[in-house]
C-alpha cells in the first residue's frame, strides 16, 4: 500500500462550480448522478477523480460521453484529452448500500440509508476530487419512497418520492451527508442572537422519540454557548441530527445534518447512565462546534486534522467545564489523556499531533490528534492569556472563513494577534512522545527558593530528532500553614534545563508545580508522603490537590506491588479526611477515592524500568481496595444514604456527583460485605446509573446470576441497554475467566459482528480488563485476534481501531510479548487483510 506524505501536498489544479447530485435510492443498486464544472486554475494538468467500490455507468465531458477507465481507486484523464477552458463533468454510477458493511460512504442501517464520508468515504459515492481543500456548494436531489429524505443545507423542494436540498456554504466532500428512512422527528427551535429562526430536529426510529429530550437540550445549550463565548452563530435555517445504530465512531459533523451513533444521542433515565448523559452532552456540543471549527474553516489536507479536532475538543472541554464545573472536568480530561494518549505516545503507535505520513488516514483519528491536540490549544491560551486567545480566535474566524487551512495559518493568527513568537512552540506539533519534566528544589537560608525544571523527551518510532519544547509550567508556593504565598505564576521552560528563583521568603515554601495540568507532560517531582498529604489537604489549585492524592495513591500501590509494603497510615488518614470533608464537591471526592487503574499501574511500573505482571497488579489493587474499604468502613453506609439524591432522576451536575460518590462507596462496601449492600442497591435502583453500578458490584462479588438474567429479560429488545449487559460482564469478570466470558458472549444470539457498538461492548471490555486480556496463557490475545480477523473482512476501520489493544506490547515480559507478536504476525499474514488493519499491525510489529 502507498504511503502518503505531508511533504507531497499539491493543490488541486481546478476550481469546482456547484455540485449537482441525484440519488435514486435502492438497497443493492442505488444510482448516483453527478454533475459539476471544472475550471483549470492556470496551466494544463491531468484531472484526477477518486472513486472506490463504484460501478461506472457513464461519464461525460461537456455532454459528450467519454471512455473513462477507473484504475487503482481513481480516474485519470490526461490534460491533452481535456478541453482548454472550463468544462462540465458528468457521471452516473451504481453503488450497493445494502452490501456496504464498512459503514463508509452510503450504507444501510436497520432499513435506513445514511452516509459517513469523513475522511475518504465520498469516493464510495461517486467519482470526485475527494480531498478537503476542494470546497464548493452542493445541490442534492433524493428519489425514494421513504418518508424522510435529508441532506445538507436548507430544503428547497419536495414532493411524492423526492426531496431537494441546497447547501449554500461551500464545503469539502467529507462533510456531505444523506439520510433516508422511516424516521420520527423530535422537534425544537432556536433563535440566534441576530434573530435567525432555526428549526431543530432530532431524527430517530419510531419508538425512540421519548429518548431525545436530552440531546435537544444539549444542542440548544451548545448553540447559546458558542454565541456567548466565541461569538459564533449558526448559519442555516435548519439543523438536523439523526441517530443511527450502526456507526463506526461517536458522531459526524456534516454541515447542517449531523449523524450520530444512537448511543451518543438517545437517553432516558431508565436506559442511560450519568456517564451516557454527559457523553451525549459533550458530543452534541463537539459536533455542533465543528460548524465553525471544521466546517466554515476546514483543513487543507488530512495531516492538519488537529486543526479542527484539537480545537473542537478544546472547545467542548471548555463548554463542559462551564456547565459542570471546571475543576472536575480538568481532572477527568487529564485522566483520559493519560489513559489513552500517554499510552499511545509511549508505544509503537506514537505519532506527532501533526503526523507526517500515513497509509490509511482513518488510523490517525487518535487520542494524540484529538486530546493532545486540545492540550496544545490550552497551552497556547495559557501563554498568550485570555485576551490574546480571544483576539487570535477572532482573527482566525475573520481571516480564514471559507478556507481550508494549515497549522501554520493557525499559529500565525496567534503571532499576529499577540506579538508572540511561536516558532519553538510549533515543535509540539511535529515531535511525538510524552515529555518528562523533572523538578528539583533548593532552599537557602537567605530566603531564596529555587526550582529547577528539566525537560527530556523519549525517542519515538519516527526517529525525529527532539529539540527542547516551550512548556508553560504553572506554579504556586504555599506556606507551611497552608496559605498561598502569592498568586500562581506561569514559568516558561524553553531550554533543556532552567532555574527559577523566588526571593524574600521567610520559611521554606511547599511548591505546587504544573497546576491545572498546564502541559501534557509526565511530572517527576520527588516529594515525601507527608508533603503530598499536605497538598491534598491544602492546595488551592483543585487539580493539584487531586493530583497530590493521586500520586500518593499511585506510590502506595506501586510499593505494594513491587515490595509488598502495606499502605502508609498517612495515606489512609488522608483518604478518610477527604471522604469526611463536606466542603468538597462529591464528584471531586469520588475522583480522589478512585485508585489508579491496572493499566495505569502497568504503565507506571514500565515507566520506571520494571516489567509489570498484570495478575500481580490486579491482586495488589484489589487488596489495597479492601484495606481502604476496611479503614473507611464506619463512614460507608452513611455516605451511601447521604449521597442518594432525592426526587426523580436528573443528570444535573450535583446529583451526578452525588451518585458517583455513592457508587464509589458502594463498590468499597462490596469489598467488605460480599455483595449484600449491592443487592439492596440493585433492588432500590430507579435509574440506569444506579442499576449498572449495583450490577458491576454484584459481578465482582460473584453473585450476579439472577440480576443478569433479570436484566436480559427486561432489556433484551433494547440494543443500547443490551450493549451495557454485554460490556459489564466482560469488564468486571475476574481475570481468569474474562476471555471465556467474552467468548461465550460471542455465541449469544444478540452478538452481532456487523454492529460496531456490540463488537466494542465485548472486545473493548476484554482489552480494558487488563489482567483478563493479559492472561498468562495468551487466550485473551488469541480470542481478540480471531475476532479482529473476522471483523476486518466486514469493517476494516473498526477492526483497525480495536487492534490498539496490542499497542502496549513492549511493556510486558518476554513470554507475553512473544504471544502478542505471534498474534500480530498471524494477522499480518492473513489473506485479504485490509489496508487499515495492515498498517496498524505493521506499525505495532515495528
Report the catalytic residues. Answer: 287
Looking at beta carbons only, is 251 or 522 nearer to ligand B3K? 251
- Quote the least distance from Cβ 171 to ligand B3K, whole Å: 13
Question: Which triple of cell numbers denotes residue 121?
Answer: 468515504
252 belongs to the binding site for ligand B3K (CB under 6 A): yes
* Rounded distance between C-alpha atoms, residue 591 and residue 548, angstroms: 12
Provide the grid cell at 253: 459533523
Smallest separation (angstroms) from Zn ion to the CB of 56: 33
What is the smallest separation between the CB atom of 34 and ligand B3K, expressed in angstroms? Answer: 22
Lookup: cell for 16: 469546482
Cβ nearer to ligand B3K, comparing 289 with 396: 289
Residue 294 CB, shortest distance to Zn ion, in Å, is: 7
Rounded to a whole number of angstroms, the minimum distance from the CB of residue 287 to Zn ion is 7
**Which one of the spans 282-290, 585-593, 724-732, 749-757 is the region binding ligand B3K (CB under 6 A)?**
282-290
| Bridge pairing between strands 298-299 and 471-478 | unpaired
Residue 718, Cβ density class (10 Å: 0-12 exposed, 13-18 middle, ≥19 buried)? middle
Contact stretch for ligand B3K (CB under 6 A) within 247-255, 727-735, 823-831, 838-846: 247-255
Stretch in the footprint of ligand B3K (CB under 6 A) among 248-256, 394-402, 469-477, 749-757: 248-256
**Please, what is the minimum distance in Å from the beta carbon of residue 286 to Zn ion?**
6
By C-beta, is 175 or 739 nearer to Zn ion?
175
**What kind and span of H or E run contains 673?**
helix 653-673
Part in contact with ligand B3K (CB under 6 A); list of ranges 245-253, 447-455, 688-696, 778-786: 245-253
Contact in structure between 220 and 149 (CB atoms under 8 Å):
no
Residues 403, 86: Cα–Cα separation, whole Å: 22
Please list, in sequence order, all residues whose beta carbon lies within 8 angstroms of the beta carbon of residue 619, skipping any fewer than 6 positions away.
Answer: none
Please say which residue, 115 or 362, places its beta carbon nearer to ligand B3K. Answer: 362
Q: CB nearer to ligand B3K: give 246 or 253.
A: 253
**Which of 249-257, 428-436, 517-525, 673-681 is the region at the interface with ligand B3K (rule: CB under 6 A)?**
249-257
Separation CA 259–CA 29 (nearest Å): 23
By a kind-dependent CB cut-off of 5 to 8 A, residue 249 interacts, out of Zn ion, ligand B3K, none, with ligand B3K
* Cα separation, 468 vs 424, whole angstroms: 8
Residues paired with residue 200 on neighbouring β-strands, in sequence order: 188, 239
Q: Residues binding ligand B3K: what is the number (CB under 6 A)?
A: 12
Among 21, 249, 741, 837, contact with ligand B3K (rule: CB under 6 A): 249
Q: How far apart are CA 525 and CA 690, in angstroms?
A: 39
Selected from 119, 698, 720, 827, the binder of ligand B3K by CB under 6 A is 119
By CB under 6 A, tell whether 301 contacts ligand B3K: no
The one among 301, 309, 613, 792 contacting ligand B3K by CB under 6 A: 309
Q: Is 547 in the site for ligand B3K (CB under 6 A)?
A: no
Please report whether residue 365 would count as binding ligand B3K according to CB under 6 A.
Answer: yes
Shorter beta-carbon distance to ligand B3K: residue 119 or 328: 119
- Cβ nearer to ligand B3K, comparing 54 with 119: 119
For ligand B3K, the binding residues in 133-162 under the rule CB under 6 A are none
Q: Is 303 in the site for ligand B3K (CB under 6 A)?
A: no
Whether 29 and 94 have beta carbons less than 8 Å apart is answered as yes
Grid coordinates representing 752?
452481532
Which residue from 139, 255, 286, 545 is in contact with ligand B3K, where contact means CB under 6 A? 286
Which of the choices Zn ion, ligand B3K, none does residue 690 contact, using the CB cut-off of 5 to 8 A by kind? none
Q: Which residues contact 460 (CB under 8 A, 6 or more apart)?
A: 345, 350, 351, 431, 432, 433
Which residues 6+ apart lie within 8 Å of 771 measured at CB?
A: 598, 614, 615, 617, 618, 735, 738
d(CA 627, CA 621): 10
Candidate segments 286-294, 406-414, 698-706, 738-746, binder of ligand B3K by CB under 6 A: 286-294
Nearest by Cα to 826 from 843, 808, 838: 838
- Residues 281 to 310 in contact with Zn ion, rule: CB under 5 A: 309
Parallel/antiparallel/unpaired status of strands 197-204 and 238-244: parallel
Cβ proximity to Zn ion: between 309 and 613 the closer is: 309
Choose which of 30, 201, 362, 460 interacts with ligand B3K (CB under 6 A): 362
Length of the chain: 846
Minimum distance, C-beta of residue 283 to ligand B3K, in the bound complex (Å):
8
- The distance of closest approach from Cβ of residue 835 to Zn ion in the complex, given in angstroms and rounded to an integer, is 23
Provide the minimum distance between the beta carbon of 802 and ligand B3K in the complex, in angstroms, as a whole number.
14
CB of 106 to ligand B3K, least distance (A): 15
Closer residue to Zn ion (CB): 113 or 365 = 365
247 touches ligand B3K (CB under 6 A): no
Q: In this structure, what C-alpha cell is assigned to residue 652?
A: 444535573
Confirm or reject binding of residue 836 to ligand B3K (CB under 6 A). no
* Residue from 45, 57, 34 nearest 11 by CA: 45
Residue 119 binds: one of ligand B3K, Zn ion, none (C-beta under 5 to 8 A by kind):
ligand B3K
Cell of residue 584, nine digits: 468538597
Separation between Cα atoms, residue 349 and residue 840, nearest integer Å? 8
Q: 365 contacts which partner out of Zn ion, ligand B3K, none, CB within 5 to 8 A by kind?
A: ligand B3K
- Cβ closer to ligand B3K: 208 or 287? 287
Task: Name which of residues 708 to 747 contact ligand B3K (CB under 6 A).
Answer: none
Beta-bridge partners for 501 = 450
Q: Specify the residue, 91 or 367, whose C-beta has the smaller distance to ligand B3K.
A: 367
For residues 308-339, one letter each, b for 16 or more C-beta atoms within 10 angstroms of the residue's C-beta and e for the rest, the string is: bbbbbbbbbbbbbbebbbbbbbbbbbbbebbb
Write phi, then psi, for 66 (nearest 5 degrees). -125, 160
Distance CA 361, CA 132 (A): 13
> Residue 807 binds which entry of ligand B3K, Zn ion, none, with Cβ cut-offs from 5 to 8 Å by kind?
none
Query: Comparing C-alpha atoms, which of 720, 719, 712 is closest to residue 695?
Result: 712
Is residue 118 within the footprint of ligand B3K (CB under 6 A)? yes
Smaller CB distance to ligand B3K: residue 223 or 592? 223
Look up residue 487 and give its DSSP letter. -
Site for Zn ion in 476-515 (CB under 5 A): none
Cα–Cα distance measured from residue 210 to residue 111, given in angstroms and rounded to the nearest whole number: 21
Return all residues near 642 (Cβ < 8 A) that are at least 6 apart.
Answer: none
What is the DSSP pairing of strand 47-50 with strand 74-77?
Answer: antiparallel
Nearer to Zn ion, 313 or 799 (CB): 313
Which residues in 215-343 belong to E strands, given as ranges?
238-244, 251-252, 257-261, 298-299
Rounded least distance, CB 843 to ligand B3K, Å: 17
Q: How far is the CB of 229 from Zn ion (least distance, A)?
A: 18
**Binding of ligand B3K by 171 (CB under 6 A):** no
287 binds ligand B3K (CB under 6 A): yes
Q: Quick one: three-class SS letters along 401-459?
A: CCCEECHHHHHHHHHHHHCCCCCCCCHHHHCCCCCEEEEEEEEECCCEEEEEEEEECCC
Three-state secondary structure call for residue 185: strand
Q: For residue 106, give the H/E element and its range.
A: strand 105-109
**Smallest separation (angstroms) from Zn ion to the CB of 252:** 8
User: Applying CB under 5 A, which residues contact Zn ion?
Assistant: 309, 312
User: Applying CB under 6 A, which residues contact ligand B3K?
Assistant: 118-119, 249, 251-253, 286-287, 290, 309, 362, 365
Amino acid at each position: 500500500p502507498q504511503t502518503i506524505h505531508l511533504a507531497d501536498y499539491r493543490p488541486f489544479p481546478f476550481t469546482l462550480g456547484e455540485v449537482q447530485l441525484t440519488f435514486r435510492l435502492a438497497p443493492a443498486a442505488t444510482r448516483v448522478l453527478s454533475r459539476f464544472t471544472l475550471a483549470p486554475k492556470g496551466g494544463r494538468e491531468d484531472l484526477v477523480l477518486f472513486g472506490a467500490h463504484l460501478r461506472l455507468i457513464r461519464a461525460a465531458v461537456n455532454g459528450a460521453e467519454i471512455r473513462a477507465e477507473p484504475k487503482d481507486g481513481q480516474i485519470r484523464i490526461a490534460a491533452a484529452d481535456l478541453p482548454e477552458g472550463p468544462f462540465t463533468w458528468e457521471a452516473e454510477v451504481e453503488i450497493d448500500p445494502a452490501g456496504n458493511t464498512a459503514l463508509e460512504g452510503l450504507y444501510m442501517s436497520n432499513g435506513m440509508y445514511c452516509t459517513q464520508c469523513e475522511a475518504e468515504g465520498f469516493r464510495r459515492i461517486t467519482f470526485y476530487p475527494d480531498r478537503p481543500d476542494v470546497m464548493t456548494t452542493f445541490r442534492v436531489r433524493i428519489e425514494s419512497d421513504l418518508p424522510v429524505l435529508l441532506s445538507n443545507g436548507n430544503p428547497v423542494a419536495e414532493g411524492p418520492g423526492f426531496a431537494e436540498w441546497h447547501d449554500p456554504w461551500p464545503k469539502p466532500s467529507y462533510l456531505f451527508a444523506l439520510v433516508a428512512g422511516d424516521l420520527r422527528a423530535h422537534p425544537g427551535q432556536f433563535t440566534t442572537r441576530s434573530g435567525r429562526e432555526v428549526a431543530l430536529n432530532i431524527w430517530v426510529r419510531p419508538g425512540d422519540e421519548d429518548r431525545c429530550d436530552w440531546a435537544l437540550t444539549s444542542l440548544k445549550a451548545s448553540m447559546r454557548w458558542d454565541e456567548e463565548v466565541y461569538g459564533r452563530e449558526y448559519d442555516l435555517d435548519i439543523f438536523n441530527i439523526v441517530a443511527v445504530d450502526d456507526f463506526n465512531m461517536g458522531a459526524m459533523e456534516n454541515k447542517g445534518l449531523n449523524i450520530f451513533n444512537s448511543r451518543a444521542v438517545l437517553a432516558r433515565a431508565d436506559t442511560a447512565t450519568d456517564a451516557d448523559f454527559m457523553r451525549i452532552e459533550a458530543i452534541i456540543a463537539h459536533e455542533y462546534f465543528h460548524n465553525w471549527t471544521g466546517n466554515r474553516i476546514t483543513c487543507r489536507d488530512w495531516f492538519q486534522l488537529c486543526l479542527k479536532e484539537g480545537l473542537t475538543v478544546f472547545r467542548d472541554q471548555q463548554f463542559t467545564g462551564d456547565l459542570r464545573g471546571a475543576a472536575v472536568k480538568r481532572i477527568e480530561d487529564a485522566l483520559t489523556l493519560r489513559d489513552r494518549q500517554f499510552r499511545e505516545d509511549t508505544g509503537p503507535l506514537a505519532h506527532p499531533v501533526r503526523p507526517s505520513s500515513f497509509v490509511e488516514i482513518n488510523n490517525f483519528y487518535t487520542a494524540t490528534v484529538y486530546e493532545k491536540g486540545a492540550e496544545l490549544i490550552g497551552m497556547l491560551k495559557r501563554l498568550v492569556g485570555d485576551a490574546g486567545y480571544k483576539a487570535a480566535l477572532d482573527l482566525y474566524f475573520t481571516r480564514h472563513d471559507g478556507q481550508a487551512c494549515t497549522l501554520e495559518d493557525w499559529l500565525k493568527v496567534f503571532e499576529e494577534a499577540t506579538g508572540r513568537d511561536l516558532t519553538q512552540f510549533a515543535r509540539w506539533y511535529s515531535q511525538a512522545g510524552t515529555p518528562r519534566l523533572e523538578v528539583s528544589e533548593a532552599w537557602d537560608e537567605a530566603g531564596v527558593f529555587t526550582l529547577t525544571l528539566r525537560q527530556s523527551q523519549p525517542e519515538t518510532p519516527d526517529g525525529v530528532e527532539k529539540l527542547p519544547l516551550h512548556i508553560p509550567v504553572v506554579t504556586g508556593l504555599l506556606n507551611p500553614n497552608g496559605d498561598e504565598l502569592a498568586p500562581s505564576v506561569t514559568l516558561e521552560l524553553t531550554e533543556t534545563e532552567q532555574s527559577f528563583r523566588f526571593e524574600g521568603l521567610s520559611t521554606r515554601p511547599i511548591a505546587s508545580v504544573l497546576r491545572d495540568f498546564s502541559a501534557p507532560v509526565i511530572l517527576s517531582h520527588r516529594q515525601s508522603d507527608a508533603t503530598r498529604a499536605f497538598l491534598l489537604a491544602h492546595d488551592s489549585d483543585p487539580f493539584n490537590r487531586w493530583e497530590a492524592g493521586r500520586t500518593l495513591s499511585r506510590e502506595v500501590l506501586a510499593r505494594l506491588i513491587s515490595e509488598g509494603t502495606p499502605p502508609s497510615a498517612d495515606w489512609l488518614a488522608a483518604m478518610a479526611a477527604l471522604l469526611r470533608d463536606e466542603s468538597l464537591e462529591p464528584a471531586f471526592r469520588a475522583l480522589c477515592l478512585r485508585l489508579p487503574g491496572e493499566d495505569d499501574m502497568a504503565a507506571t511500573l514500565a515507566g520506571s524500568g520494571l516489567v509489570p505482571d498484570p495478575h500481580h497488579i490486579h491482586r495488589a489493587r484489589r487488596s489495597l481496595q479492601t484495606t481502604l474499604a476496611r479503614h473507611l468502613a464506619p463512614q460507608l453506609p452513611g455516605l451511601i444514604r447521604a449521597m442518594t439524591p432525592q426526587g426523580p432522576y436528573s443528570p444535573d451536575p450535583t446529583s451526578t456527583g452525588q451518585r458517583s460518590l455513592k457508587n464509589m462507596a458502594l463498590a468499597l462496601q462490596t469489598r467488605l460485605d460480599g455483595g449484600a449492600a449491592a443487592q439492596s442497591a440493585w433492588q432500590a435502583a430507579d435509574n440506569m446509573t444506579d442499576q449498572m453500578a449495583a450490577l458491576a458490584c454484584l459481578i465482582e462479588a460473584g453473585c450476579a446470576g439472577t440480576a443478569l438474567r433479570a436484566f436480559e429479560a427486561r432489556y433484551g429488545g433494547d440494543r443500547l441497554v443490551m450493549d451495557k449487559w454485554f460490556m459489564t460482564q466482560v469488564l468486571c469478570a475476574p481475570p481468569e475467566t474474562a476471555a471465556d466470558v467474552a467468548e461465550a458472549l460471542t455465541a449469544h444470539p444478540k452478538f452481532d459482528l456487523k454492529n460496531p457498538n456490540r463488537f466494542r461492548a465485548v472486545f473493548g471490555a476484554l482489552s480494558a480488563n487488563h489482567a483478563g486480556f493479559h492472561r498468562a496463557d495468551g487466550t485473551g490475545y488469541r480470542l481478540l485476534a480471531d475476532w479482529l480477523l473476522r471483523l476486518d473482512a466486514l469493517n476494516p476501520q473498526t477492526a483497525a481501531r480495536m487492534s490498539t489493544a496490542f499497542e502496549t506490547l513492549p511493556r510486558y515480559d518476554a513470554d507475553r510479548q512473544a504471544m502478542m507478536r505471534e498474534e500480530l504476525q498471524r494477522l499480518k499474514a492473513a489473506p485479504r487483510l485490509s489496508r487499515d488493519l495492515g498498517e496498524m499491525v505493521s506499525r505495532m510489529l515495528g
